[in-house]
Amino acid sequence: MPSHDYTTRILWTGNRGEGTAHYRAYDRTWDIAVPGKAPVHCSNDPLLGGDPGKMNPEDLLLSALAACHMLWYLHYAAEAGIVVTSYSDVPLGVGEVGRGGAGRFVKVTLRPHVVVQPGTDLAAAEAIHHRIHEVCFIARSVNFPVDHAPTFAVSG
């Protein structure tokens, strides 16, 4: 099976001048700085004192799952002759925190809203969602269930 390499650059931006001299001496902020791409400014989860205006690792994982699902959905829809005119998702990730503060996702439900052209076979459009977890790189890489609860509308 062919392999693919992926890389990124994480640059901590939270040194206030004394580094990690003590727990409250530094910010939990960083940039994702992939060469040739716009930086993404990130912070810790707001529940842990992070900046709520910046992406956190949990946001990024949830977004990656939803984006991977969307891209495969659009691909399969195009192959099936299903014309999608709009696609949005508001996924829900459920996490738990154990002793010592260690957390993890226990499940994610993708909730895509798909708008299709009039005359579309909605059962066929819905069936596409069931095929995606077989191929989505991100969903196949996580150790928790990824469900989906799609809704559809017909463009008017």
CA dihedral 47, 16, 40, 96 (to 10 degrees): -20
46: Cβ–Cβ under 8 A, 6 or more apart, which residues?
A: 52, 56
Rounded to the nearest 10 degrees, the angle between the axes of helix 122-132 and helix 57-80 is: 130
Specify the pLDDT at position 140: 95
Q: What does the DSSP 8-state code read for residue 38?
A: -
Spatial neighbors of 149 by CB under 8 A, at least 6 apart, are 109, 110, 111
The model's pLDDT over 32-62, given as tens digits with 9 standing for 90+, comes to 999 899 999 999 988 888 899 999 999 999 9
Residues in the chain: 156
pTM, full prediction: 0.90
**Across 109-121, average pLDDT:** 97
69-95 pLDDT per residue, tens: 999 999 999 999 999 999 999 999 999
More confident site: 5 or 81: 81
Distance of alpha carbon 107 from alpha carbon 104, whole angstroms: 9
Residue 141 predicted with pLDDT over 90: yes
